[in-house]
């Protein structure tokens, strides 16, 4: 984001700050502290504009020394980093003000007094994963400021680097365990079958796991299909006449909440994908997709700008080359620090809004066993022998051949088989059929994957009659999806423009209702 910062003149800023305090107080947002009510003093108000002069964020800078609450939660790290760079100090968001901001029309309230210097070496050697946080936060580790837990929206996407045995798999498992406990939809990709052994993780619902490139490609097709379906649902749940901005907004209005989709990939760079990965990750973020990509080495070209902006969260364990560290961590000094980390599970991260050291939570195997036991009742149906189809797979295969002209599409199968075969069963079949030992799909076309020759050979099923095929992939879902996206983009922009106009009007309103700045002095 290219951003310019424009500061209000001091008296304007004080008046705005004062009026803001008054209006917050009248909303009941009071703070009682030892020093009385409202010890908060606004020092500056910034307006952040982009290169086109469009108002992006109004930032109220609060004197942190006067805040009774400390926080490491942040809402938009891009903005905070920019502000931080311009102001040449660290900036933070107070969640209570953030909430008020969301409710009452201003974007961010931050405080800028630097925190007390963090102590070196104060981090614990090893910390067990605590109980999974309530709501939609994922606990990640302990930093100098205390425990770090973040929502999907805050994480946005994560790149993980680390030499062998530094803790990459453990971090991925920690995220997977917590997400699974929350019932999030998981896609696990692990070429070594070590981080997420298929035999173990496949037993969980709703989890899909693969160790091969075909399975990974199949997951991406599944994710695209699911997000196309979500796009249609978003259009049926308008908020003020517009589709919800993202999954979290959708879930506030829909009868049935949709879970985030979490794609965890170990050894990401060993996959040569057929598709533009960054594009899929970017388009589907608003439908709930969060990607976490781990690898022992990264090069600048592995993290092109599109991917870098998307995968804002960085976790860099000890790495062996400065090149890897530089590709993952932005500043050279922080990158160098990553070369000298010694402790397992210790990483340089930007999760709290600035780069600092964190001890990642350690997942003990008992946690995974317990998770499997909790989930085992739903799935322990034993894996089918290599080529014999289970009853479910047989039903799916029949439907694909008889109704879908031999083209496997999760979305269409879901509708065809509603009531008899579950979503999970369709997806698990999809991953299993794509796996290296089967290779039952050809390259995807449209929104589905044609069954391969190998499939028909190995199962003994006969191919569909292609004469009556007509136009098999005219696909309502494809066309609908595209139309949806066009409509949404336009509406999204309009929505944003309206909000920006509101924001400007709100600030102007505050200025118009100016009160005597001298009343501020009484506050201090």
Ligand X SMILES: Nc1ncnc2c1ncn2[C@@H]1O[C@H](COP(=O)(O)OP(=O)(O)OP(=O)(O)O)[C@@H](O)[C@H]1O
Q: Which residues form the interface with Mg ion (CB under 5 A)?
A: 168-169
Q: Among all residues, whose Cβ is closest to ligand X?
A: 345
Q: Closest distance between Mg ion and the C-beta of residue 194, in Å? A: 6
Interacting partner of 349 out of Mg ion, ligand X, none (Cβ under 5 to 8 A depending on kind): none
Give 57's strand partners: 48
Query: Are 315 and 352 within 8 A, CB to CB?
Result: no
3-class secondary structure, 422: coil
Q: Which residues contact 306 (CB under 8 A, 6 or more apart)?
A: 278, 279, 282
Q: Which of 162, 450, 472, 481 binds ligand X (CB under 6 A)?
A: 162
3-state SS, 36-85, equals EECCCCEEEEEEEEECCCCEEEEEEEECHHHCCCCCCCCCCHHHHHHHHH
Interacting partner of 126 out of ligand X, Mg ion, none (Cβ under 5 to 8 A depending on kind): ligand X
Q: Which of 71, 107, 170, 178 binds ligand X (CB under 6 A)?
A: 170
Pick 267 or 393: Cβ nearer ligand X? 267
Q: Is residue 169 at the binding interface for ligand X, with CB under 6 A as the rule?
A: yes
- Cα-only R_g, the chain: 26
Q: How far apart are the first and last CA of the chain?
A: 36
Taking phi first (over 0 means left), then psi (-120 to 50 degrees means alpha), and beta for anything else, what does residue 340 get?
Answer: alpha
- Residues 115-154, one symbol each (x = binds ligand X by CB under 6 A, - = not), give -----------x----------------------------
* Range 49-63 burial, b when 16+ CB lie within 10 A, else e: beeeeebbbbbbbbb
Residue ranges in 97-116 that form contacts with ligand X under rule CB under 6 A: none
Q: Closest distance between Mg ion and the C-beta of residue 167, in Å? A: 8
Interacting partner of 296 out of ligand X, Mg ion, none (Cβ under 5 to 8 A depending on kind): ligand X
Q: Is residue 344 at the binding interface for ligand X, with CB under 6 A as the rule?
A: yes
Distance CA(395)–CA(448), nearest Å, equals 18
Q: Closest distance between ligand X and the C-beta of residue 168, in Å? A: 4
Give 265's strand partners: 189, 293
Q: Which of 135, 164, 460, 470 binds ligand X (CB under 6 A)?
A: 164
Interacting partner of 344 out of ligand X, Mg ion, none (Cβ under 5 to 8 A depending on kind): ligand X
Distance CA(266)–CA(443), nearest Å, equals 23
Distance CA(426)–CA(414), nearest Å, equals 7
Q: Closest distance between Mg ion and the C-beta of residue 294, in Å? A: 7
Interacting partner of 419 out of ligand X, Mg ion, none (Cβ under 5 to 8 A depending on kind): none
Query: Are 265 and 235 within 8 A, CB to CB?
Result: no
Pick 77 or 168: Cβ nearer ligand X? 168
Pick 115 or 165: Cβ nearer ligand X? 165
Pick 192 or 332: Cβ nearer Mg ion? 192
Place of tokens 């336009």: 490
> Residue 15: how many CB atoms within 10 A of its CB?
23
- Residues 359-378, one symbol each (x = binds ligand X by CB under 6 A, - = not), give -x-x----------------
Q: Closest distance between ligand X and the C-beta of residue 197, in Å? A: 13
Residue ranges in 285-314 that form contacts with ligand X under rule CB under 6 A: 296
Query: Are 97 and 494 within 8 A, CB to CB?
Result: no
Structure tokens at 280: 């899929």
Query: Are 213 and 435 within 8 A, CB to CB?
Result: no
CA 300 to chain centre: 22
Distance CA(185)–CA(287), nearest Å, equals 12
Interacting partner of 360 out of ligand X, Mg ion, none (Cβ under 5 to 8 A depending on kind): ligand X
Q: Which of 13, 72, 84, 166 binds ligand X (CB under 6 A)?
A: 166
Q: Closest distance between ligand X and the C-beta of residue 211, in Å? A: 14
Pick 61 or 158: Cβ nearer Mg ion? 158
Count residues binding ligand X (CB under 6 A).
Answer: 14
Q: Closest distance between Mg ion and the C-beta of residue 330, in Å? A: 24
3-state SS, 205-257, equals CCEEEECCHHHHHHHHHHHHHHHHHHHHHHHCCCECCECCCCHHHHHHHCCCC
Q: Closest distance between ligand X and the C-beta of residue 186, in Å? A: 18
Give the footprint of ligand X on this chain (CB under 6 A): 126, 162, 164-170, 296, 344-345, 360, 362
């Amino acid at each position: 984001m290219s951003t310019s910062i424009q500061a209000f003149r001091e008296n304007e800023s004080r008046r705005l700050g004062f009026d803001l305090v008054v209006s917050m107080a009248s909303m009941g947002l009071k703070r009682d502290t030892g020093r009385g009510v409202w010890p908060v003093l606004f020092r500056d108000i910034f307006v952040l504009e982009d290169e086109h002069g469009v108002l992006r964020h109004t930032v109220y800078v609060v004197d942190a020394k006067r805040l009774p609450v400390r926080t490491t939660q942040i809402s938009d790290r891009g903005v905070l980093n920019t502000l931080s760079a311009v102001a040449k100090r660290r900036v933070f968001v107070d969640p209570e003000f953030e909430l008020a901001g969301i409710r009452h029309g201003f974007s961010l309230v931050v405080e800028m007094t630097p925190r007390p210097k963090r102590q070196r070496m104060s981090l614990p050697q090893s910390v067990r994963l605590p109980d999974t946080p309530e709501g939609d936060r994922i606990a990640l580790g302990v930093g100098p400021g205390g425990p770090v837990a973040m929502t999907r929206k805050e994480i946005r996407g994560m790149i993980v680097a680390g030499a062998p045995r530094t803790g990459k798999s453990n971090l991925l498992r920690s995220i997977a365990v917590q997400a699974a406990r929350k019932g999030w939809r998981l896609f696990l990709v692990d070429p070594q079958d070590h981080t997420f052994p298929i035999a173990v993780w496949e037993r969980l619902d709703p989890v899909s796991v693969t160790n091969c490139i075909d399975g990974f490609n199949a997951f991406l097709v599944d994710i695209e299909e699911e997000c196309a379906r979500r796009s249609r649902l978003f259009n049926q749940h308008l908020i003020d006449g517009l589709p919800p901005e993202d999954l979290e907004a959708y879930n506030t209005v829909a009868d049935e909440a949709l879970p985030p989709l979490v794609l965890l990939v170990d050894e990401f760079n060993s996959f040569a994908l057929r598709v533009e990965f960054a594009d899929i990750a970017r388009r589907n973020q608003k439908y709930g997709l969060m990607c976490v990509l781990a690898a022992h080495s990264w090069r600048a070209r592995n993290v092109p700008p599109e991917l870098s902006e998307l995968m804002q969260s960085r976790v860099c364990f000890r790495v062996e080359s400065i090149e890897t560290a530089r590709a993952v961590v932005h500043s050279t000094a922080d990158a160098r620090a990553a070369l000298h980390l010694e402790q397992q599970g210790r990483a340089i991260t930007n999760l709290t809004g600035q780069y600092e050291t964190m001890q990642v939570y350690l997942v003990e195997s008992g946690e995974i066993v317990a998770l499997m036991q909790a989930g085992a009742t739903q799935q322990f149906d034993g894996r089918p022998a290599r080529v014999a189809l289970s009853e479910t797979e047989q039903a799916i295969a029949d439907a694909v051949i008889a109704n879908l002209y031999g083209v496997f599409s999760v979305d269409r199968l879901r509708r065809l088989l509603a009531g008899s075969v579950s979503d999970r069963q369709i997806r698990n079949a999809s991953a299993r059929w794509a796996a290296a030992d089967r290779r039952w799909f050809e390259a995807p076309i449209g929104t589905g994957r044609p069954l391969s020759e190998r499939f028909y050979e190995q199962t003994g099923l006969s191919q569909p009659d292609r004469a009556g095929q007509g136009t098999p992939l005219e696909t309502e879902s494809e066309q609908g999806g595209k139309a949806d996206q066009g409509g949404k983009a336009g509406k999204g922009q309009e929505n944003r423009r309206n909000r920006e106009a509101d924001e400007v009007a709100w600030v102007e309103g505050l200025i118009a209702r100016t009160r005597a700045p001298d009343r501020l002095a009484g506050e201090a």
